[in-house]
Amino acid sequence: MTKLSVNINKIATLRNARGGDVPSVTQVALDLERFGAQGITIHPRPDERHITRKDVYDLKPLVKTEFNIEGNPHRPFIDMVLEVKPEQVTLVPDSDNAITSNAGWDCEKNLDFLKSVISEFKDAGIRTSIFLDPNPEMVKFASETGADRIELYTEAYAKHYFQNKEFAVESYFKTAVVASEYGLGINAGHDLSLENLKYFADNIPNLLEVSIGHALISEALYLGLENTVQAYLKRLAVW
């Protein structure tokens, strides 16, 4: 079964546009779980332009499903994750000023660094996933980092889905097959939506989790949050 983890960064972005606590990040997280989401994802950045450090600490005691914290593993991020101890940390090599994540790790080039960081998280009992482009040749090095999972960066899939969905998913399928051979769990996320999710999930073997934020929150403006979560779960054949 593929689990749905909802990224709530966009809720924090909307709140921060006016200040105060409307909409409430914590209440939305609780509601998402009540509506059926099987995880809550956040991606705090150093400038706190959406999720803040306070949000991270406020959410930890409330999330009862899976708490997944994404981010570039600078020292302050590492220390915060080690203190909060989420169920999963997802390492993403985005620059501090990136609007959104835009590339996976070069695990060969960053092997020693990733090994060191991941060992800290593993010692603390935190499952570790690393953001990866759909490149089967990179999986070997991802495995050598000691990570438990990879998260396939799915922007390219979403971009090419409507032109040629078979082509769009091909490199992801090949990467997932190799990852399974190395014993790595497979997550995925970025630009997945109600339109393109089912085909992706149907064609990626051993897909354990998808993390979806921007599209889900945008679609909820029309469908409502509960209806949207249920629609995503149906795409994943949960119901």
- State the catalytic residues: 43, 70, 190
User: From CA 206, how far away is CA 179, in angstroms rounded?
Assistant: 9
Distances (CA, A) of 16 to 27, 52, 165: 15, 10, 37
The answer to whether the beta carbons of residues 193 and 225 sit under 8 Å apart is no
d(C-alpha 121, C-alpha 25), whole Å: 26
Q: How far apart are CA 4 and CA 232, in angstroms?
A: 8
- Asked if omega into 86 is within 30° of 0 (cis), the reply is no
Q: Using CA atoms, how far apart are residues 3 and 200, in angstroms rounded to an integer?
A: 14
Instruction: For residue 130, give the H/E element and its range.
Output: strand 127-132
Rounded Cα distance between 194 and 115, Å, is: 35
Are 7 and 204 a contacting pair, CB within 8 Å?
Answer: no
163 CB-near residues (< 8 Å, 6+ apart): none
